[in-house]
Amino acid sequence: MNYHSLIPQKPLLISVLLGFLACLQAHAQVSVYLKMDKKNYLLGEPVSATLTITNNAGRQITLKGDNINPWLNFQLSQSGRTVPPARKIAYKPTVIPVGQTVARKVVMTTSYALGTVGNYTASASINMPGATITGFTSNRSHFTITSGRNIWTQYAGLPSSPDQVREYRLVTFTGDNGLDLYAQVLDKKSGRRIATIPMGKILTFKNPTATLDRANNMHALYQVKPDLFAHCCISPQGNVVSAQYHKRGKVGAPRLITFGDGNVRVGGTTPYDPVAEAAKKSRIRKLSDRPPFLYK
């Protein structure tokens, strides 16, 4: 046996060591961290995360790509099975100065069709600019998609297109920090979700109520604090037409009222503007704000 053939030649050994050291140095240059914005998502809502990139390369880095070779990619799996991307996105270029950290919000549902309930694992990878195959991969982050609970459903046709039918839903969902309310608009024929709109945290002392107006917009009234209610109007296209807060009135319970002309209003409440209320409170002087000469 030729034992000499089993011993790595010096040039080859040096190349291997240099490659290993270069790999270690590269991984020390850029660090990538992915954090999901929530641990639990409602089926149909945007799945978002925050991507943090730290540049220790000793030079400014500009990350850029196109639809064919984007600088940012994700690796998603559901219960151990790879989730393929539905489409590639050309993310906007990102400049990271020397020694600084840049955080960027990313929405995974723009490139992945996450339409199945289950447990998911995600990681992000970035490609460095120039003629290089160097890339950096983030940690693995976990999240869950669930379906929530329907508490109200109504079908409605489109006044401008009678052959199209919308399905409106109010859905409650136990998120990371309590009970959330969502409005959903679906195309009844295809089952396609047109919009999933977060309405915020709710209290259930009084259950959310909903109705349609003459234009087949959905109106929802729900309790957000013991004495505070929210009224939101959603169009058949899944857009928020209006959103207002109301305080409990002196007479009667808060309720949606449909008038003879088909318009919908809120009864048993008084309008409330949190911004105006905060501005009003800021104008009220405290005793400690009085000029010192008043005490002489």
pLDDT digits (tens, 9 = 90+) for 167-201: 999 999 988 788 999 999 999 988 899 999 999 99
How many helices and strands (H and E) does the chain possess? 2, 22
Look at residue 217 and tell me if it is in a domain: yes
Q: Are 121 and 227 in the same domain? A: no
Which of 197, 184, 191, 34 is CA-nearest to residue 108?
34
Residue 23 has what pLDDT? 41
Residue 143 near residue 120, CB atoms below 8 Å: yes
Question: Given a cut of 90, is residue 103 above it in pLDDT?
Answer: yes
Q: Are 141 and 169 in the same domain? A: no
Question: Which residues contact residue 176 at a Cβ distance below 8 angstroms, ignoring those fewer than 6 apart?
Answer: 38, 39, 40
Which of 164, 11, 136, 113 is CA-nearest to residue 61?
136
The residue ranges of DSSP E strands in 202-254, in sequence order, are 209-212, 218-225, 228-234, 240-248
Q: Are 170 and 106 in the same domain? A: no
Rounded-to-integer distance, Cα 285 and Cα 278, Å: 13
- The amino acid that residue 191 corresponds to is G
- The residue range of the domain holding 100 is 29-145
Per the structure block, which two tokens stand in for 83? Answer: 């989730």
Look at residue 6 and tell me if it is in a domain: no
At 177, is the secondary structure helix, strand, or coil? coil
Residue 33 near residue 57, CB atoms below 8 Å: no
The pTM of the full predicted model, rounded to 2 decimals, is 0.75
**Band of the pLDDT at 253, cuts 50, 70, 90?**
confident
Q: Are 116 and 166 in the same domain? A: no
Rounded-to-integer distance, Cα 81 and Cα 83, Å: 6
Residue 258 has what pLDDT? 96
Of the residues 93, 121, 145, the one at which a domain ends: 145
Rounded-to-integer distance, Cα 158 and Cα 186, Å: 12
- How many domains does one find in the chain? 2
Higher-pLDDT residue of 154 and 285 is 154
Residue 249 near residue 230, CB atoms below 8 Å: no
Lowest mean pLDDT among 53-62, 112-121, 281-290: 281-290
Q: What is the CATH number of the domain that holds 121?
A: 2.60.40.2970
**Cβ neighbour number for residue 280 with a 10 Å cutoff:** 10
**Band of the pLDDT at 7, cuts 50, 70, 90?**
very low
DSSP category for residue 2: -
Q: Are 156 and 141 in the same domain? A: no
User: Kind and range of the H or E element at 173?
Assistant: strand 161-175
**Band of the pLDDT at 286, cuts 50, 70, 90?**
low
**Band of the pLDDT at 295, cuts 50, 70, 90?**
very low
Residue 294 has what pLDDT? 43
Using the structure block, give the residue that is written with the tokens 């290993």.
Answer: 20
